[in-house]
Amino acid sequence: MNPSPYNFTWPFSPPDNIVLVIAIILGKILVMVAAAMLHVAYCTWFERKIIGHMQVRIGPNRVGPFGLLQPIADGIKLFFKEDVIPRPGVGSTKFRIVFKVAPLLVLFATLSSLAVVPVFEAFYIANINIGLLYILALSAVSTYGIIMAGWASDSKYAFLGSLRSSAQLISYEVAMGLSLVGVMMLAGSLNFIDIVKAQQTSWHGMYLIPQFLGYFVFMVSALAETNRAPFDLPEAESELVAGYFVEYSGMRFALFFLGEYIAMIVMSCVAVLCFWGGWGLPPVLYKVVPALNDLPQSVKTFIEAVVFLCKVYSHLFLYYWIRATLPRYRYDQLMRIGWTVLIPLALVNIVITALVKYFF
């Protein structure tokens, strides 16, 4: 075979019913985005209730039973608020368009990362073989939104907040990427479905046990990456009032807020898929209870989806728990932890994983 540049063949053949395929993908996207938005709304409720009970108070309880309609009321309120866009100062070269686009960019980056998250084995929007890399790349893109917001706000507080945020995101991205290398080495793949299937080969069905060091580094960097306590410096209320979105109001503020919560959900999904065994139950359970093998496929799929959601919510609970417990780090301490503790730990984890994989 002598490949000729004029004899090019597509790497894939377009299916005959391309319209149907596109319609299915669009439908999946719609379901995923709608589900994500609903989850975000109830994540806020969940957070307020949990932190409320941890802090000897009740949390939202006025709108609807147990305050269940509170997120919807909040959404309506934010939607009808005035959208204030600061006028750039005299001689300023800052563009209003940057101010307007910044929250969209953050939301776009976080929402798109949901595309590669498989909820169970058969439900995903895109099953690409670099899923993990794609998520890491998109979380870097949202940094641009934050920098743009801080710069275009023409406010010193927002500017300081965005500087802090970009420095934080860039340094913790390194630690986060390195912490996932161990998982990639064990699974031999960057595809989430392969990673989850690879975890099913052990009796516990989780990489959490061999990769506990990697998980620890990942967890800490995920907190920093999503600007959550104790690393919520960019929006440290007591220092910078609200950080980079101090000048935003109404729906544009809500977009940042949505972006932050979707980023939390995505990070939890990644943690669950890479370390907690994804949608799979521990294989040992199938041995102990053989009846589980005989269930019809539809029931199995349902169980998988429920298991996945439960794991994601347990992971989100960790976020809330930490927020209710810990004070906030100082900027220099945060950077020091990132560079002198987390990155060396992640490197040690890589070396250990490599040695173990090579010799055993």
Partner 1 sequence: MSPHLRRLATKELTINMGPQHPATHGVLRLVLDLDGEKVIKCTPYVGYLHRGTEKLGENRTYPMVLPLTDRLDYVSSMANNIGYCVAVERLLGVSVPERAKFIRTIMAELTRIANHIVWLATHALDIGAMTVFLYSMREREKILELYEMACGARLTVTYPRIGGVRCDINQEFIDACTAFINEFPSHVEEYERLIDQNRIWLVRTKGIGVISAEEAINWGLTGPTLRGSGVPYDVRKCAPYDAYDQIDFDIPLGTNCDVYDRYRCRMEEFRQSVRIIRQCLEKLPGGLVLNPDAPGYDMAAGPRKKPAPPAPPPAAGAAPSEAPAAPAGPQFEDLYVATEVPKGELGFYFVSDGTGKPYRMHVRAPSFVHASVLPRLCEGGLVADVIANIGTIDIVLGECDR
- The verdict on 330 binding partner 1 (CB under 8 A) reads yes
Number of residues that bind partner 1 (CB under 8 A): 31
Residue 345 contacts partner 1 per CB under 8 A? no
What whole-number distance in Å separates Cα of residue 237 and Cα of residue 334? 17
Find all residues with CB under 8 Å of 178, minimum gap 6, and list them. 217, 343, 346, 347, 349, 350
Site for partner 1 contains 238 (CB under 8 A): yes
Q: Near partner 1 by CB under 8 A, which window of 47-55, 133-141, 211-219, 341-349?
A: 47-55
Return the closest-CA partner of residue 267 out of 303, 198, 315, 209. Answer: 315
Cβ–Cβ contacts within 10 Å for residue 103, how many? 24
Smallest distance from partner 1 to CB 162, Å: 13
Rounded Cα distance, 335 and 171, in Å? 7
Q: Which of 29, 37, 41, 54 binds partner 1 (CB under 8 A)?
A: 54
Q: Between 77 and 156, whose beta carbon lies closer to partner 1? A: 156
Q: Is 93 in the site for partner 1 (CB under 8 A)?
A: no
**Rounded Cα distance, 240 and 105, in Å:** 22
Q: Are 247 and 198 in contact (CB under 8 A)?
A: no
In order, the DSSP letters of 85-141 are -PPPPTT----HHHHHHHHHHHHHHHHHHGGG--SBTTB-S---TTHHHHHHHHHHH
Position among 213, 331, 347, 352 found at the interface with partner 1 (CB under 8 A): 331
120 strand-pairing partners = 123
Q: Does 157 bind partner 1 (CB under 8 A)?
A: yes
Phi, psi at 71, each rounded to 5°: -60, -35
Among 57, 87, 96, 287, binds partner 1 (CB under 8 A): 57
Q: Which residue of 4, 293, 332, 360 would you call a contact of partner 1, by CB under 8 A? A: 332
Quick one: which of 25, 35, 295, 326 contacts partner 1 (CB under 8 A)?
Answer: 326
Toward partner 1, which CB reaches closer, 17 or 55?
55
Q: Residues 96, 156, 287, 357: which binds partner 1 (CB under 8 A)?
A: 156
Binding residues (CB under 8 A) for partner 1: these are 51, 54-57, 156-157, 159-160, 164, 229-230, 232-233, 236-241, 323-333
